[in-house]
Amino acid sequence: MEELISLTANLGIPFLIIVIALITGSMIERRHYRSIDQREKKLGHIPLLNSKKYPKEDTVIDSRFVSGSVVISYDYFKRFLAGLRQIFGGEVKSYVSLIDRGRREAILRLKAKCPDADLIVNLRVETSSISKGKRKRSIGSVEVFAYGTALLYSKT
């Protein structure tokens, strides 16, 4: 009897955490994607360039340095899926959607800082994984940082 209890405790708690993570994680992700889509429509009129050259036909009246960043952590379920993937290899889809969310969010935050800009040039996106602690107690998260130069054209 005692063995049975300890077995349920040992297997049951991680299983429960995975189920909770699956429900909340997918809910948060869906909500985040919805808000990203909405804001991308609103700020879609600002073109982004990742080159240093820009069209010179208009006169630039102001240029500003803009940046945006976000730290996103993966949930327990995503980590579980990725762990399974490491046995067979292949694309880790659960992490792809995570980093995609991070990149789009960082660029949106950058755009939100200059809603009146006509063009953003030399956009750079940097990704770094932070806090790689000990295997068991580590907090897995990825930081995305986007920066560029916003240009304002004269309206005449």
Partner 1 sequence: MIITNIEEVPGKKIVAHYGLVTGSTVRAKHVGRDLMAGLKNIIGGELKGYTELLEDARGQAKDRMIEQAKEMGANAIINVRFNTSSIAQGASELYIYGTAVRVE
Q: How far apart are CA 115 and CA 154, in angstroms?
A: 15
Q: Where are the alpha helices (DSSP H) in the chain?
A: 2-42, 76-88, 93-112
Cβ proximity to partner 1: between 5 and 131 the closer is 131
32, two tokens:
């985040």
DSSP state of 59: P
Asked whether position 111 contacts partner 1 by CB under 8 A, the answer is no
Q: x/- binding map, residues 45-74, to partner 1, per CB under 8 A?
A: -------x-x----xxxxxxx-x-xxxxxx
β 141-153/119-130 pair status: antiparallel
Residue numbers at the binding site for partner 1 (CB under 8 A): 17, 20-21, 24-25, 28-29, 32, 52, 54, 59-65, 67, 69-78, 105, 121-122, 124, 126, 128, 130-133, 137, 139-141, 143, 145, 147-149, 151
